[in-house]
Amino acid sequence: MEKIIIYTDGASRGNPGLAAVGAVIFDGEEVLAEVRSFLGEQTNNWAEYEAVAQVLEKAHELNLQDREIEIRLDSKLVREQLSGNWKIKSDTIREQWKKVKGISKDFKNLSYTHIPREKNEYADRLANEAIDNR
């Protein structure tokens, strides 16, 4: 079985400003699911965490808990905080971190990889569509 690859992105126009999440779940070349959701007014970092939370909930719905999953995101901050390498200073971000950690407990083999923004175009497009079509 191939590793499940997930791309996530949070977008905020104004930071804080109109915000949304976008994510896509791949099993090989097959798209298993897309996630796009308008969040109202939020910061970019909050939206980045929310993207991870929402896509993990979708992965749970798809019964992917026993599969190897790699989440690729262009937020180095979120990747480093979720991996335990960086401290969390904001209370609102700490709540988002707890939310993601709570959801991720059900997954057997989950990793986070920081990628350049240009490698995250699919998830970015979904997030921007969610803002544009709110």
What residue ranges define each of the domains in the chain, with the CATH number in brackets? 4-132 (3.30.420.10)
pLDDT at 39: 99
- Distance CA(126)–CA(8), nearest Å, equals 9
Q: What is 7-57 written as a DSSP string? A: EEEEEEETTTEEEEEEEEEEETTEEEEEEEEEEEEE-HHHHHHHHHHHHHH
Amino acid sitting at position 6: I
CA 52 to chain centre: 3
The one-digit pLDDT tens for each residue of the chain (134 residues) are: 899 999 999 999 999 999 999 999 999 999 999 999 999 999 999 999 999 999 999 999 999 999 999 999 999 999 999 999 999 999 999 999 999 999 999 999 999 999 999 999 999 999 999 999 99
- Distance CA(34)–CA(17), nearest Å, equals 23
